[in-house]
C-alpha cells in the first residue's frame, strides 16, 4: 500500500503538469503512476501552440524544452477549394513541435526533482471508493495507492473520468518520414473535403524529419482510416514523399473532445486533460489544454490540502476555472468548423491580399 496526499493516474502533459505544479506549491507526498515506463512515445503531432508555450514558461521548463524542439514561425494553409496561403511571422517563435517522448519526460523529471514519486509500469485497474468518495486506486497486479485526493489524467480512453456523456471522437492516423522537403519552420494545415471538418497536417519535428497525419470524424465507423489517409497523401504529398524514407508504421489513435466542458470532479477526484475531453474540437489540440488543466487542478487543490480552504468548493472552483480557460475557444470551434465546411474559409483566404485580413487570420489561427 502506497500512501499519498495526492495520487495521479497518467503521466502525459496533464498528469505531469499537475504533479509539477503541486511540487512547486509545496505539496508533499504526491505519487504519479503510469502504465508505461518513461521516456515513452505517444501518437501525436506534437505541436505546441503559443498558449502551451506560455504554460511551459510558467512551469519553468521552457529553457529545457526549447533547444530540444523544432521552432515554428509560420503556417502553410490549404483550403477545401485548394487555395494556398503562407502566414509567416519572421524570426519569432510562434509555436513549437516537440516530440512527446521528450516533452512528457522533461515535465516528469522536473516533477520528480521536486519530490514527486513516480511509479512506472502501474496499470490502474479500478478506483477505490469509500462512502461515495474516491480514496485512491488499485493496480492490475493488486498494488494499492491510498490518497486524500486523486487526479485522473489517463487520456482519451479514460476509464476513471466522471463525465458519462458519450465522448465526441475524432479519429486520427499519422506517419513519420525523413527527407520530405518543406519550408523551414513552417507547419502545414490542409483542409480537404476528404477529412473536413477535420484536417490533415504536416509538422516538422527537425530539419529532416516530419510527421504527417489526418484527423476526421466518422461517428458510424464507416470509413477505412488507412484508405482515407492514403488518398490524402496521394493528393497532397505524393510528389514530396517520392524521395522520402518512412520511419516506422502508420499509427492511429482516437481523440476525445467536447464543445462544452462537462463534469470534472466527484468527492476526492478531479479529472484533467483529455480524460476530461479538454481537447479543442476544431484543431484537436490537447497538449496545451492538458497542461493548463493540470496546473488549474493543482492550484485548486493546494490550498485545500494546506487546510486554508474548504474542500466542498473544490470541484465547482476547478470546473469554473476550466470553463473560463477553454469555454470560449471550444465554442468558437463551431464557427471554425462551419467556415471549413462551407466556402467561407476559401473566401477569407481569397481576400487575404489585404494585409488586415491576413493579420486577423494569423491571429485567429494562433489563438484558436
Residue whose C-alpha cell is 518512412 = 246
**Nearest distance from residue 280's CB to ligand FAD, in Å?**
8
Residue nearest to ligand FAD (CB): 286
CB 290 within 8 A of CB 278: yes
Q: Which CB atom, from 278 or from 348, has the smaller least distance to ligand FAD?
A: 278
Rounded CA-CA distance 137/360 in Å is: 48
Q: Which CB atom, from 96 or from 348, has the smaller least distance to ligand FAD?
A: 96
Q: Which CB atom, from 145 or from 352, has the smaller least distance to ligand FAD?
A: 145
**Nearest distance from residue 341's CB to ligand FAD, in Å?**
21
Q: Which CB atom, from 179 or from 254, has the smaller least distance to ligand FAD?
A: 254
Strand pairing category for 95-97 and 47-48: antiparallel
Rounded CA-CA distance 43/104 in Å is: 12
According to DSSP H, which parts of 306-368 are helical?
314-341, 344-350, 355-367
Cell numbers standing for residue 109? 523529471
Q: Which CB atom, from 33 or from 210, has the smaller least distance to ligand FAD?
A: 33
Smallest CA-to-CA distance from 65 within 91, 101, 117 is with 101
Smallest CA-to-CA distance from 318 within 86, 156, 175, 162 is with 162
Phi, psi for 189 (deg, rounded to 5): -125, 125
**Nearest distance from residue 73's CB to ligand FAD, in Å?**
17
Binding site for ligand FAD (CB under 6 A): 9-15, 33-36, 42-47, 122-124, 153-156, 172, 174, 213, 253, 255, 273-275, 279, 284-288, 290
Q: Which CB atom, from 253 or from 347, has the smaller least distance to ligand FAD?
A: 253
**Nearest distance from residue 123's CB to ligand FAD, in Å?**
5
Assign 3-state DSSP to the chain and report helix, strand, coil percentages, each to 5: 35, 30, 35
Q: Which CB atom, from 40 or from 240, has the smaller least distance to ligand FAD?
A: 40
Torsion 249-234-169-279 (CA) sign: positive
Q: Which CB atom, from 153 or from 345, has the smaller least distance to ligand FAD?
A: 153
**Nearest distance from residue 309's CB to ligand FAD, in Å?**
25
Peptide bond into 39 cis (omega under 30): yes
Q: At what angle do helices 355-367 and 50-58 cross, to 10 degrees?
A: 50
**Nearest distance from residue 69's CB to ligand FAD, in Å?**
12
**Nearest distance from residue 288's CB to ligand FAD, in Å?**
6
Distant-in-sequence, close-in-space partners of 84: CB < 8 Å, separation ≥ 6 = 76, 77, 78
**Nearest distance from residue 307's CB to ligand FAD, in Å?**
29
**Nearest distance from residue 152's CB to ligand FAD, in Å?**
9
Q: Which CB atom, from 7 or from 345, has the smaller least distance to ligand FAD?
A: 7
Q: Which residues pair with 169 in a beta bridge?
A: 256
Residue whose C-alpha cell is 487526479 = 151
Amino acid at each position: 500500500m502506497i500512501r499519498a496526499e495526492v495520487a495521479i493516474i497518467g503521466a502525459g502533459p496533464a498528469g505531469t503538469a499537475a504533479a509539477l505544479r503541486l511540487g512547486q506549491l509545496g505539496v508533499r507526498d504526491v505519487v504519479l503512476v503510469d502504465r508505461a515506463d518513461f521516456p515513452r512515445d505517444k501518437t501525436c503531432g506534437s505541436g505546441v501552440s503559443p498558449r502551451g508555450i506560455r504554460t511551459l514558461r510558467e512551469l519553468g521548463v521552457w529553457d529545457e524544452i526549447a533547444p530540444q524542439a523544432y521552432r515554428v514561425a509560420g503556417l502553410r494553409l490549404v483550403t477545401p477549394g485548394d487555395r494556398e496561403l503562407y502566414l509567416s511571422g519572421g524570426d519569432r517563435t510562434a509555436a513549437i513541435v516537440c516530440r512527446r517522448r521528450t516533452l512528457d519526460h522533461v515535465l516528469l523529471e522536473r516533477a520528480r526533482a521536486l519530490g514527486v514519486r513516480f511509479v512506472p509500469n502501474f496499470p490502474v485497474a479500478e478506483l477505490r471508493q469509500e462512502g461515495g468518495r474516491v480514496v485512491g486506486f488499485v493496480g492490475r497486479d493488486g498494488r494499492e495507492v491510498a490518497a486524500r485526493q486523486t487526479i485522473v489524467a489517463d487520456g482519451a480512453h479514460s476509464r476513471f473520468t466522471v463525465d458519462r456523456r458519450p465522448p465526441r471522437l475524432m479519429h486520427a492516423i499519422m506517419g513519420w518520414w525523413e527527407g520530405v522537403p518543406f519550408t523551414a519552420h513552417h507547419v502545414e494545415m490542409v483542409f480537404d473535403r476528404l477529412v473536413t471538418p477535420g484536417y490533415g497536417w504536416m509538422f516538422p519535428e527537425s530539419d529532416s524529419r516530419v510527421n504527417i497525419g489526418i484527423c476526421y470524424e466518422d461517428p458510424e465507423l464507416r470509413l477505412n482510416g488507412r484508405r482515407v489517409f492514403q488518398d490524402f497523401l496521394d493528393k497532397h504529398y505524393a510528389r514530396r514523399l517520392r524521395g522520402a524514407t518512412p520511419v516506422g508504421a502508420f499509427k492511429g489513435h482516437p481523440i476525445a473532445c467536447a464543445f462544452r466542458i462537462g463534469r470534472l470532479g466527484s468527492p476526492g477526484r478531479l479529472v484533467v486533460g483529455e480524460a476530461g475531453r479538454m481537447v479543442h474540437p476544431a484543431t484537436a489540440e490537447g497538449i496545451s489544454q492538458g497542461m493548463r488543466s493540470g496546473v488549474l487542478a493543482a492550484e485548486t487543490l493546494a490550498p485545500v490540502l494546506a487546510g486554508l480552504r474548504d474542500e466542498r468548493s473544490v470541484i465547482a472552483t476547478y470546473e469554473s476555472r476550466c470553463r473560463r480557460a477553454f469555454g470560449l475557444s471550444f465554442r468558437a470551434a463551431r464557427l471554425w468548423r462551419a467556415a471549413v465546411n462551407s466556402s467561407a474559409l476559401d473566401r477569407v483566404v481569397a481576400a487575404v491580399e489585404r494585409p488586415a485580413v491576413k493579420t486577423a487570420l494569423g491571429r485567429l489561427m494562433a489563438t484558436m
